[in-house]
Amino acid sequence: MNFHKENKELQSLLDNSSSESTYLNNLNIHVGNNEHENIVKAMRKFGERVLFCTGNRAMRHYGFLDIYLKLFSKFNFRVVYYDNISVNPTLKQMEEGLTVAKEFNPDFIFALGGGSVIDTAKVISVGLFGDIWDFVEKKQEIKKAIPIVASATTSGTGSHVTPYAVITNTDTLQKKTLKHDLLLPKMSINDLDIIKYMPKYIIATTGFDVLCHATEVFTRNECTNIAENFCIKSCKSIRENLVSSYNQDSVKNKLGMIYADIYAGIALALIGTHVPHAISHPISARFQNINHGHSLAYITAETAKKLIEKKNSNLNNKFRFLSDILGGSSDFVRAVNNYKQLLGLNSIHTFNDMDCQLIYEDTLGYRRDSVDRSPVVLLDEDIKDIIFHSLKNDNAKINKGHHL
Ligand SMILES: [Fe+2]
């Protein structure tokens, strides 16, 4: 791969921290462009039978599907293709992909897509050896998986560098996370040739997701110095690149967001998120047209406001520190609302009281563990306030555009 200057910083951060964690040692991240042939050659070590997962019609449109299919053919891979993967991928879609995989018996999976495609690939990789929902519900232990090579087409979900997969169960209307070391892709490819085509709305929503990963991890009480460093690097890159990446077609800014995503994704894998992500999953599970980043845009400012009201000095110092880095002049709530405004992440759905009540019950039900990771204790009434205020008054809460 062609390595960019920034890659040296990433590599040195990883080298300095890798003795602390097996996960960090297992990361294999490539950032570059114009290297499709080398990527395919590198996959040889995983076998010759590849399940090629993608859900992105843009990959066909821009020719990357053909590029990869031709290269797989040139290097004598046997390929089966699976592409019925949507935003908020469902258990049913994953099971359908699994049926394809079981018939083909792949040696490994190549996932070319955003978080939804990569998560689907992860679930199929372990689903070959047990029941997917039993793994989620911890009725069965994950013991085996086939390798995954993930080429991210967005810079936001962090899925290409994490051992997590998120699954939407349309029967139970739940969105749950599967976590296991075996879910970490063996290669994480960040291909600027592809990522530069990200549509504006996806730049906005995945970029907002990155912001939430970095700031939620940073504000967790369990956050370590190593994870803090990754969060800070991510927030600096967000400030320099996110809004510019949204507004103009600059390769430099898009590369900057690739790194912001990698840094925040690593921090996410090391520590994990808390309340905004706890509430965002029930929103997307019940309203599947609302993607992950957009659901976070509804909820994050109101959550921060509630946490800041608790007057925990350590936490509030962290929020001030973060908003200074993000360009919010020490006011984190205002910084978040500015990003929402500048990225055009306004309300796209009208929620009624019953919608809010169901999201509240889901959050305190199957997302309770995640709520309990809040850096200060939030009462059930606080969670209710956050949900009702965020979802019912969304537009009224957006500040008029402050530039960052
Ligand atoms: Fe996320």
The amino acid that residue 403 corresponds to is: H
**Two structure tokens written together for 188:** 């994480």
d(CA 339, CA 327): 10
CB of 211 within 8 A of CB of 269?
no
Kindly give the distance from the C-alpha atom of residue 212 to the centroid of ligand 1, in angstroms, as a whole number: 7
Please give the pLDDT value at position 5. 53
Structure confidence at residue 249 (pLDDT): 79
Q: How far apart are CA 81 and CA 108, in angstroms?
A: 12
Higher-confidence position of 363 and 328: 363
- What pLDDT does 4 receive? 53
Let me know whether 208 and 297 are in one domain: yes
CA distance 164 to 142: 13
pLDDT of 400 above 60: no
CA of 308 relative to ligand 1 center, distance in Å: 22
Same domain (yes/no): 360, 225: yes
For ligand 1, the distance from its centroid to the CA atom of residue 213, given in whole angstroms, is 6
Tell me: do 176 and 224 sit in the same domain: no
CATH number for the domain that contains residue 242? 1.20.1090.10
Banded model confidence at residue 2, pLDDT cuts 50, 70, 90: very low
Give the separation between CA 338 and CA 301, rounded to whole angstroms: 10
* C-alpha 283, offset from chain centre: 16
Q: What is the rounded CA–CA span in Å between residue 296 and residue 308?
A: 18
Greater confidence, 87 or 52?
A: 52
Distance 293 CA to ligand 1 centre (A): 7
Identify which of 271, 228, 235, 229 has the alpha carbon closest to the alpha carbon of residue 370: 271
State the CATH number of the domain containing residue 71.
3.40.50.1970
Q: For residue 286, report the distance from its CA to the centre of ligand 1, in Å.
A: 17
Element (H, E) at 381: helix 380-392
Q: Ligand 1 center to residue 260 CA distance, Å?
A: 13
pLDDT in tens, 124-152: 999 999 999 999 999 999 999 999 999 99
- Report how far ligand 1's centroid is from the alpha carbon of 47 (Å): 31
In a domain, residue 26? The reply is no
pLDDT surpassing 70 at residue 395: no
- Co-location of 181 and 213 in the same domain: no
Residue 89 covered by a domain? yes
161 and 46 within one domain: yes
How far is ligand 1, taken at its centre, from the CA of residue 289, in Å? 16
pTM for the full predicted model: 0.93
- Whether 208 and 304 share a structural domain: yes
Provide mean pLDDT across the span 308-335: 95
> 78 alpha carbon to ligand 1 midpoint, in Å?
34
What is the Å distance from ligand 1's center to 309 Cα?
24
295 in any annotated domain: yes
Is residue 282 included in any domain, yes or no? Answer: yes
| Domain extent at residue 110 | 33-195
User: What spacing in Å lies between the alpha carbon of 159 and ligand 1's midpoint?
Assistant: 9
Instruction: Give 394's pLDDT tier (boundaries 50, 70, 90).
Output: low
- Whether residue 256 is found in the same domain as residue 370: yes
> Which two tokens mark 120?
């689907």
- Mean pLDDT in residue range 391-398: 60
Residues in the chain: 404
CA–centroid distance, 114 to ligand 1, in Å, is: 12
CA of 164 to the centre of ligand 1 (A): 10
Whole-number mean pLDDT of the chain? 92
Together in a domain, 221 and 185: no
Q: Is the pLDDT of residue 194 over 50?
A: yes
Q: How far is the CA of 205 from the centre of ligand 1 (A)?
A: 10
Q: How far is the CA of 265 from the centre of ligand 1 (A)?
A: 9
Overall domain count for the chain: 2
| 281, 225 contact by CB (below 8 A) | no
116 and 180 fall within a common domain: yes
Kindly state whether residue 15 falls inside one of the protein's structural domains. no
Do 228 and 362 share a domain, yes or no? yes
Which phi-psi region, left, alpha or beta, contains residue 173 (left: φ > 0; alpha: ψ -120 to 50)? left
The tens digit of pLDDT for each residue in 359-371 reads 999 999 999 999 9
